[in-house]
Amino acid sequence: MKRSRLRLRYLLLLTAAVPAWAGPPTVYYLNPGKYVATPGESLALRLDAGLAGSARPAPWPGEGAARLLVRAGPTQENRHQVQPERPQDDFVSVSVAHSGVTLIGADFQPAIIELSGAELRSFLEANVAGADQLKLPSADRRVRVRQVACGKTLVRAGAGADNGPSGIAASKTGQAVEIQPLFDPTAAVVGSDLPLRVYIQGDKKSAAKVQATSLAGGKTTSLTTDLVGSGHFRITDPGLWRVEFHHAQPLSDDSGADWLLYSATLTFEVPDKGANR
């Protein structure tokens, strides 16, 4: 209980320094530039933003990332308050130090988003399970939404690029909102199913709508998680995939926001090894 109170206090302190801005929620996907690298190589980690099938490069958030974690081999690096090294850059550098899979995660600074009731309704109806059961504000009302967003991406390197599944790829990071693949998707084959689990503040989230988009196939598959936050979708194409889920709830005793929105994304590349028949 004490840990939960400290976590909430930390979240509120972060949010207090972030100014409000108008517009719909921003969905960020981590883009490492390449998904197969060489051990020792430095990657320029950028962001794509927008709808999964058409997300485009976006500036690194002005408030930065509260935490950037890089997990590979026997090590994990944690960097805090992460910003590009130079003001003109739209990326941060990440070193791929080991063969096999490198997991990169980013916890973005919580932001207060101001939007209309109609914009909130449109976003929730498209992205949140059970949105029709929520008591949504009138279309013309201005709504303050606190968005807590985290992203994750997977990169393979060196000799491990052709080896079997990695435990690192399927590990839990403990981010505030998280998509955990239960099998290494960088070792998946077309025609197989990818199981996953989703979390909010470390707890498994049931009845969550998860959307997985294949950029090569141009198709989005949706699933709803079960009682233990799990589900699966079919890997229909090789190439880049973007996976996301969102959860929203109204706030009754919060002077800074009317709604709380959690957003998590995962990006990875499925190798082109042919269909599993």
Q: Considering the domain boundaries, does residue 90 fall inside one?
A: yes
pLDDT digits (tens, 9 = 90+) for 79-96: 999 999 998 899 999 999
pLDDT at 272: 87
Q: Look at residue 226 and tell me if it is in a domain.
A: no
In this prediction, residue 164 carries a pLDDT of 80
At 53, list the tokens. Answer: 């099938």
Total of domains in the chain: 1
Tell me which residue range forms the domain holding 47: 2-221+235-270
pLDDT at residue 223, as a whole number: 97
From the number of C-beta atoms within 10 Å of its C-beta (0-12, 13-18, 19+), residue 94 rates as: buried
Low-confidence ranges of the chain (pLDDT < 70): 1-23, 159-162, 274-277
Q: How far apart are alpha carbons 187 and 165 in whole angstroms?
A: 5
CB atoms within 10 A of CB 193: 11
Q: For residue 227, tell me if it sits in a domain.
A: no
- pLDDT of amino acid 14: 39
pLDDT of 15 reads 41
In a domain, 230, yes or no: no
Is residue 10 in a domain?
yes
Q: Are 168 and 196 in contact (CB under 8 A)?
A: no
Among the listed residues 79, 28, 94, the one whose alpha carbon sits nearest the alpha carbon of residue 57: 28
Integer Cα distance of 157 and 241 in angstroms = 18
Mean pLDDT, the chain, integer: 89
| DSSP reduced 3-state for 94 | strand
